[in-house]
Structure 1
């Protein structure tokens, strides 16, 4: 594991370019095994999750190479094999191999996925979708075995009981090669779903309705890549840098963004009194000094993203008065609170109401803290930049799982930050 060491007090300035969307990439890589040709992705973020997914591909005899944002995947010699448990358990998005393997082989056997511990995230809606398409699902220890039987995958009517990005994408991956017509109702609407569907449709899939709550899929027999797929910019990375720049910047331009994907987040920054300069594919954050307190409530897209409630927290420490956060998606996503409090932050969590109360804090002081998961680590990283003295973040690999070339980007913004291998 790595430690991140931050020497605070260096205000940020300059330009930063956002990488490809993590939440697209971790679905697109499993989706690539559905192709009957080699596949190429551009704008792939250099994050640990990508490298772990490449390990899983290798176990299936799927070759891949990754350099300078370009990822090549060749699934033409794919074989059915046991997937490496360690890599599966390192990231939750490995569950997308369930839908992809069903589409490719009509059978999937996979360990229960791992990833961030941010409270209950059941996969019952995924299973419900697979069973609607005629699959039999059996749990064997910590393995899930999904089979399709003699008829193979069948098109079906699927209604998701809750809006789930993961279940929506997994159902699409299975249905794209199913026989007949599939309709997914109460589907999630995230931009990353549109990105995955764009990739599949460009290979010959027949999918309509991505970005709405009803997605219709006509199964096809073959998918063939003819063009490089360019991954959309990461709206969560962009939001993290927006928060960072507003909290401790002297003027920062954030490039390669799609502002429309950040409307709910941008609205909250404006509500705080931050004067953003929004262009077609960039946002400039001027030095800001006076902030109003706000109320944040996370919701499914296009609402305020749960992945951004922790990154906005250090900014809220600078607001005049108390701000509140209610996470309706993952109410237990609170690992950052006690760590920020070690730095002097005035934050508390009211369990009865599920509300995080963030009070104005004059000063943060460097401390030794731990990144419990990706977005908690991002929150702590921003606080470390704002703090007096040195902050050491243990378990920094969690940050590396979700933030592209983070050390280089922060250094280019004049932060003093480094990664040190923790041999203990």
Structure 2
């Protein structure tokens, strides 16, 4: 199994290209099931989760062609996928495929909308809390679907097709909003989704669906209205840049010191996180090519942060901020309000010598002058990269094990960091 070896102490200087957003690419690929014409997606990141979803869609009869490199392509430019669901030959998504990636459960929405039936395995357990699918099921039932759960599968039928409805989510849910949005595009009549998630990835998916002929208004606000249409067509769409990857590298620069241009990043996608970085002592400068982040000489100042749905501070950057605060001058508090059990990285950060105290959903981090390298283990997709950030400043050698978690969400992490002066390498086997 691959590992990442880091020797800490180097500042980061240079340019890091930001990849396409995983959290937009996955639902965009799934949206390809809504039409019998070809959907072309540009700037799709090369990630384990993307490859896994290609296998899942292939099981339904979807042909996916990955366009090869073109003259002048940069090595980090995302891939172009041609997704053709002309003939859906199977409306079942089996456990062995769905259990590997929770987002694959979302195929239930386009299958039900277009084929009027679906049989999708309930997703497997997840390291960060329960993340139930009850809100997704509620949304589909509101649209007229008949759902039963049998042998670990959700069996959904809509013999006459889905019908527009009012869907009011009891709590903000990104996955629920994606599912409701996709299902409603082909439903008869008007659907109004209230307490909808406002994340930029929702907006990106809605933009693509509108290009395909959907009639969606209000994406990016808490109320989304969808006028159902009889058919969607193909289109070409570019995946927006990954705000979590942007924030991760910005925190790494703040941690190590140095000066890095995050090429292709869009500041409005993560303003709350950038504001926290400035508060912590980093210099953040938006420019025509993205965002420049620097920290030269100034120490890291402690901050108090609570995670919140967009436009608040993202839960997916909570672990990275915690790594940054381990060397701040003073005490910081980070409160996790989105997912329970999302502090598994705390024990691993403690192996570096970090001083972190947990009290319910709040972590108190007492900054320490230095961290020391250690063997650590990646625990989940986003938290794992906090160990890399800590390793970049820790004295001596850090070995990060179980890095398949990192490969799910970060494209060529070690290559991007080493190009800016980090001593980091992947060790295979």
Distance in 2 (CA, whole Å) between partners of 1:357 and 1:221 is 53
Alignment CA distance shift 1:115-1:407 (3 Å): farther
- Per mean C-alpha deviation after superposition, the further-off stretch among 287-296 and 196-205 is 287-296
Task: Write out aligned runs for 1:167-206 (5 A).
Answer: 167-206=176-215
Partner of residue 108, structure 1: 118
CA distance in 2, matches of 1:225, 1:375: 33
Report the secondary structure of 1:369's partner residue. strand
Structure 1 position 100, deviation (Å): 1.6
Deviation at 1:215, TM superposition (A): 0.6
Equivalent position of 2:80 in the other structure: 70
Deviation of 1:291 after TM superposition, in Å, equals: 2.2
C-alpha distance in 2 between matches for 1:311 and 1:42: 28
Q: Distance in 1 between matches of 2:197 and 2:372?
A: 40
Could you say which residue in structure 2 is the equivalent of 1:267? 275
Whether the aligned pair in 1 keeps the contact of 2:60 and 2:88 (CA below 8 Å) is yes
Deviates more, 1:95-104 or 1:301-310: 95-104
| 1:127 paired residue among 126, 134, 137 | 137
Counterpart of 1:357 (choices 356, 364, 376) is 364
Task: Give 1:393's aligned residue.
Answer: 400
In the alignment, which residue of structure 1 is the partner of 2:415?
408
1:84 shift after superposition? 4.1
What is aligned with 1:339?
A: 348
Which deviations, in whole Å up to 9, do the C-alpha atoms of 1:299-336 show, x marking residues without a partner? 11101110011111121122111000001101320011
CA distance in 2, matches of 1:63, 1:37: 11
Q: Could you tell me whether the CA contact under 8 Å between 2:185 and 2:229 is conserved in 1?
A: yes
- State the shift of 1:416 in Å: 2.2
Deviations 1:273-308 (A, max 9, x none): 222222244211223432221101011110111001
Runs in 1 of length 4+ with deviation above 6 angstroms? none
Q: TM-score if structure 2 supplies the norm length?
A: 0.94
* Structure 2 counterpart of 1:300, from 301, 305, 309: 309
Q: What is the CA-CA distance between 1:111 and the residue it aligns to?
A: 1.3
Q: Decide whether aligned partners of structure 1 residues 14 and 403 sit closer, same or farther in structure 2, where only a CA change above 3 A counts.
A: same
Q: Which residue does 1:420 correspond to in 2?
A: 427
CA deviation map 1:87-112 (0-9, x unaligned): 31111111211112111211121112
8 Å contact kept, 1:293–1:321: yes
| Alpha-carbon distance in structure 1 between the residues aligned to 2:98 and 2:424 | 30
User: For structure 2, which runs of at least 5 residues remain unmatched after alignment?
Assistant: 69-77
Match of 1:164 in 2: 173
Q: Distance in 1 between matches of 2:164 and 2:404?
A: 40
Q: Deviations over 1:373-424 (max 9, x none)?
A: 01111101111111122211111010110112212211211222222334xx
Please give the alpha-carbon distance, in whole angstroms, between the structure 2 residues aligned to 1:102 and 1:418. Answer: 45
What secondary structure does 1:51 align onto? helix
User: TM-score w.r.t. structure 1 length?
Assistant: 0.95
2:6 corresponds in structure 1 to 6
Give the match for residue 246 of structure 1. 254
Contact 2:91 2:118 (8 Å CA) reproduced: no
In the alignment, which residue of structure 1 is the partner of 2:226?
217
Structure 2 distance, partners of 1:106, 1:419, is 46
Quote the Cα distance in structure 2 between the aligned partners of 1:270 and 1:230. Answer: 30
Q: What is the total number of aligned residue pairs between the two structures?
A: 418
Give the 5 Å matches for 1:150-161: 150-161=159-170
How many Å separate the matches in 2 of 1:136 and 1:17? 45
